[in-house]
Structure 1
Amino acid sequence: MSLLARLPSWLRRAAPLLSAEQQARLLALPAPAAPSDQSLRRQRWVVVDTETTGLNLSRDCLLSIGAVVIEDGAIDLGAGFERTLQYSSNKTAPSVLIHGLSPSALAAGSEPKEALLEFLEFVGDSPLLAFHAWFDQHMLGKALKENLGYKSAHRWLDVADIAPMLFPDQVGRLAGLDNWVEHFALHVEERHHASADALVTAELCMILFSHARRQSIDSPVLLEDRLNQWRRHQQAPSV
């Protein structure tokens, strides 16, 4: 008897039921690319933001995804992604003031499997950027597993770490996305809206990439290496 069969029924999670067409689309997805030594300008990046029912990693769930592309050293305004996932529960009502998604908007959203498949196809093999990426990565990963049985291996870089690494004088003073947006006088159409937040994060990334090149960090692999070094330094005990 398999280990899964020995588990009590309440601990077993059934595999998501996918159509043959959905399974074929999953199989056709490209493998995520390894960090590249090409110029930061040449790399295709996908900048992501999500809206969720709350901030509890285990209890809350994904409601919407916004993403924009940085490619050839510019934000591609014609290549954006936005999906609200269909969600019929009225449990989201208390969090409407945060994410701005009404119950009617959620009820009219995209079927989650289709929305998530379309997101994966939009991302392709590109690395992902997000502000506080650990949160978006976790919430998207949970939704992908629950709806598609899929575990993403895409690389994520956290803009909330890249910014203070490149601007060490601002460490401790500028912490949130709003702080950096105000510092660089960026314009935000609407905060706590996935697409608008992804766009302003991409604008911040353009400033950061320009500053990185001035510090001789001009490839994704160099950026990731320097970021890992910076994190180790931040975590090292002070003497």
Structure 2
Amino acid sequence: MREIVFDTETTGLSFTGGDRLVEIGCVELVHRVETGRVFHAYFHPERDMPAEAQAVHGLSATFLSDKPRFHQGVEELLAFIGDAPLVAHNAGFDFGFLNGELVRLGRAAVCMTRMVDTLQLARSRHPGAKHSLDALCSRYGIDRSRRVLHGALLDAQLLAQVYVELTGGRQIGLTLVADEVDGAAAASHAAPAVARQVRPPRLFAPNEGERAAHAAFMTTVANPLWGVETAA
């Protein structure tokens, strides 16, 4: 099964309030294993960058000034995500901006049935605990030392690891049948069957010679604590 884990960075919290998407990072999973294929793009927001948003992700208006507009990269983005389920943390936020940009261009919104929210998964699996991406990385021993600021691709890569853990751990990627990944057969991880040879039963009763040798040895023991067996 193919899934896309993604994250966005924006100019603020509300697309309907005038904020825009400025970065998106996507990571491809097949059977919950990263394939190495990613999509990453920055977009010119066609507006200013509020200081509070820049403090979160570090993307300034100057940095974004020469980046393409969303409509210039939308085809490549849609081709990458295809019809796969889309996994995000607090996914309603990311879907809101992605669909907001698509609808703004007159394109069809991504169906919400494709949404997988790792925040909801974390709340269900770890009730009462902290559920931020940082907290989940710490819980599962995932290295987040490079996460000084928020970044869409880095956060998507971290979230992909968290998602695997939330859905059963790394062993979930082991499949028992071959599958197709980009047209190439994925190798099965199933161990080959090994025929076991059954060893015939061994007889442990002493033979007559052994019984006689034992009886002879016991005659040399003074005052034995056990009975002396005589040869048959």
Instruction: Give the TM interval when normalised to the shorter protein.
Output: 0.5 to 0.7
Deviations 1:139-159 (A, max 9, x none): 111011112432222610100
Structure 2 residue 121 is matched with structure 1 residue 162: yes
C-alpha distance in structure 2 between counterparts of 1:151 and 1:164, whole Å: 27
Query: What's the offset of the Cα at 1:197?
Result: 0.5
Considering Cα pairs closer than 8 Å and 6+ residues apart, tell me whether 1 or 2 has the greater RCO.
1
Query: What's the offset of the Cα at 1:194?
Result: 0.3
Q: Percent identity?
A: 27
Cα RMSD for the two superposed structures: 2.1
Equivalent positions of 1:5-84 (< 5 A) are: 43-59=1-17, 60-77=19-36, 79-84=37-42
Write out the 4+ residue segments of structure 1 that deviate beyond 6 Å after TM superposition. none
Query: What's the offset of the Cα at 1:206?
Result: 1.4
Query: Structure 1: where are the runs of 5+ without partners?
Result: 1-42, 215-239
Letter aligned with residue 186 of structure 1: I
Equivalent positions of 1:30-179 (< 5 A) are: 43-59=1-17, 60-77=19-36, 79-153=37-111, 155-165=114-124, 167=125, 170-179=126-135
Query: What's the offset of the Cα at 1:44?
Result: 0.5
C-alpha distance in structure 1 between counterparts of 2:154 and 2:49, whole Å: 25
Letter aligned with residue 108 of structure 1: D
C-alpha distance in structure 2 between counterparts of 1:173 and 1:80, whole Å: 31
Deviations 1:143-189 (A, max 9, x none): 11112432222610100111232x2xx31222211111111121123
TM-score by length of 2: 0.66
Query: Structure 2: where are the runs of 5+ without partners?
Result: 173-232
C-alpha distance in structure 1 between counterparts of 2:162 and 2:35, whole Å: 14
2:137 corresponds in structure 1 to 181
Conservation of the 8 A alpha-carbon contact between 2:9 and 2:21: yes
Instruction: Select the structure that is richer in helix.
Output: 1
Letter aligned with residue 105 of structure 1: F
Assess, with a 3 A threshold, how the Cα gap between structure 1 residues 160 and 212 changes in structure 2: closer, same or farther. Answer: farther
C-alpha distance in structure 1 between counterparts of 2:170 and 2:141, whole Å: 19
Letter aligned with residue 71 of structure 1: V
TM-score by length of 1: 0.64
Query: What's the offset of the Cα at 1:95?
Result: 1.9
